[in-house]
Amino acid sequence: MWEEISPLNPWWQSESNINNDIKIQEFNESGIKWDPRIRRTFDLNRDLIYSLRGPRQVGKTTLIKLQIKELLDKQTAKWNIFYFAFDIHTSVRDLVSILKTYFDRTSNLRNRKVVVIYS
């Protein structure tokens, strides 16, 4: 299970790996820097659940990756940021198992965790 989720979280190997993410690279290379207002409404210091929805190709994944990069830039511990993209073939049971694997592996970490589940 760990082999499935580790590649989706390349910053676990090195925080700078977030810069190799295709969405971050596309953003950096873009002539127009999109900064949606919703990005400033996230309060990641509280126990909240956000649901980010919208049509395809409007920037949801880019927004999420920019948030992760910002957390890493602010010295959030790399293991406290978890990203998982599931598809139509991922069952609820699989998702529960994946989350349990992550929380079991990081149970010794004390700080707040940011968990992004993307579909």
pLDDT in tens, 67-110: 999 999 999 999 999 999 887 778 889 889 999 999 999 998 88
* Domain count across the chain: 1
Strand partners, 83: 116
Domain of residue 8 covers: 2-118
Q: What is the pLDDT of residues 7-63, one digit of tens each?
A: 999 999 999 999 999 999 999 999 988 888 888 888 888 888 888 888 888 889 999
* Residue 19: alpha-carbon gap to chain centroid: 13
pLDDT at residue 26, rounded to an integer: 94
pLDDT at residue 51, rounded to an integer: 83
pLDDT at residue 54, rounded to an integer: 85
